[in-house]
Amino acid sequence: MMCGIAGVLLDGKGDVGLYLSVMLRGLQHRGLDSAGVALYRSEEMPGDEFIIRVFTKDVIGALSKISSAIANAGGDIRNIKLNSIRGYSFDLYTVRAQEKDLPQMIKNINATELSKVLSIGRKMDIIKDTASVEELERNFSISGFVGSHGIGHVRFSTESCVDLFHAHPFQSFDHIDVALVHNGQITNYWKTRERLERKGIKFQTENDSELIVHYIIDRLKGGDALNEALKASVEDLDGPFSYIFSTETELGMVRDKLGLRPMVILEGEEMKAVASEENALRLLNKKGVIKNVKPGEVICWKTVKRQ
């Protein structure tokens, strides 16, 4: 899989969407199958509110069924932003709910057979499609998003199928506000998956990128800090890979022990950024030190709160 990955973290708040769009355009030659971003707001959501991105067939009655699915799980819809594209909708719901009710809410929405939850979080919104970066920008106005950090991906698939649900970023609904973009392959996929499934972890696809998400979350739930979980993955996961893992407050990146997949970072006062190629960082036109991530190296950046 020769994909392109990118991430940006700002010193405070700024044009995260614009910077990711610029970098992904510079990486478009690495994959044309799909494009996507995970974007993080700077503002805190009220403690009982969540944002849910739902992919829906654009048919009569769909909105009513989703509303009922949310209400039947104890949710109260506060706002809906509709976005219809090619006979489908990529709608964004702001919902008041208890976090314990989210699994049932997701189950209810998916059970309508008209809709599927793409992402859920307090700060994070995932936008992805089987489209070019230019089309993603045109359909979702990515560059207008203002926030603290985000990650992005362009995909070239060599193994799993090409559709919306195999597009990146990946997330797990067991741990909100986390996402991953990945370039490469995990060669001990089935062995690692079986171990995680014995713990009760459920997989939605056979994409090895999803495996990394579940692996990291399992480590986090076991008490690891993010940098510890990422370091463990370098030892436990085999194959050529580089990936970026985002949380509400951190951006972490990893390169495999042999350095078989590229990763370059920019560290400056205004922003920190990471990408598969130096060219994508140069396009940002920002001051800072550019250097290669070393084979087996793990780097974590934390967000900065501004009053």
Between 24 and 163, name the one with better pLDDT.
24
Q: What is the mean pLDDT of residues 262-287?
A: 96
β-bridge pairing 264-267 and 289-292: antiparallel
Question: Mean pLDDT in the chain?
Answer: 93
Output the pLDDT for position 159: 62
Q: What is the mean pLDDT of residues 118-143?
A: 94
Residues 153 and 62 in one domain: no
Domain of residue 169 covers 4-44+124-302
Closest CA to 263 of 230, 223, 221: 230
The alpha carbon of 78 is separated from its chain's Cα centroid by a whole number of angstroms, namely 24
> And the tokens for 272?
């920190």
User: Quick check: 296 pLDDT over 70?
Assistant: yes
Residues 164 and 144 in one domain: yes
Choose one of 87, 122, 157: the last residue of a domain: 122
Give domain status of residue 307, yes or no.
no
User: Quick check: 12 pLDDT over 90?
Assistant: no
Does residue 3 have an active-site annotation? yes
Phi then psi for residue 234, to 5 deg, are -60, -35
Residues 156 and 295 in one domain: yes
Cα–Cα distances in angstroms (integers) from residue 235 to residues 194, 238, 295, 297, 300, in the given order: 18, 8, 12, 11, 17
Number of domains in the chain: 2
Residues 151 and 214 in one domain: yes
> And the tokens for 50?
């969540």
Ordered DSSP codes for 228-297: HHHHHHHHH--SSEEEEEE-SSEEEEEE-TT--S--EEEE-SSEEEEESSHHHHHTT---SEEEEPPTT-
Q: What is the mean pLDDT of residues 277-288?
A: 96
CB < 8 Å & 24+ apart, contacts of 136-140: 136/35, 136/36, 136/37, 137/21, 139/83, 139/85, 139/90, 140/83, 140/90
Residues 215 and 280 in one domain: yes
pLDDT in tens, 195-242: 999 999 999 888 899 999 999 999 999 999 999 999 999 999 999 999
Choose one of 94, 122, 150: the last residue of a domain: 122
Output the pLDDT for position 158: 63
Output the pLDDT for position 307: 45
Residues 78 and 147 in one domain: no
Give domain status of residue 259, yes or no.
yes
Q: Which of 119-123, 127-131, 290-294 is predicted most confidently?
A: 290-294
Our CA angle for 31, 255, 160, nearest 5°, is: 40
Q: How far apart are CA 87 and CA 58, in angstroms?
A: 5
* Active-site choice (3, 24, 52, 176): 3
User: Quick check: 108 pLDDT over 50?
Assistant: yes
- Report the percentage of the chain scoring pLDDT > 70: 97
The DSSP H or E segment spanning 106 is helix 102-111
Closest CA to 54 of 93, 107, 99, 104: 93
Give domain status of residue 249, yes or no.
yes
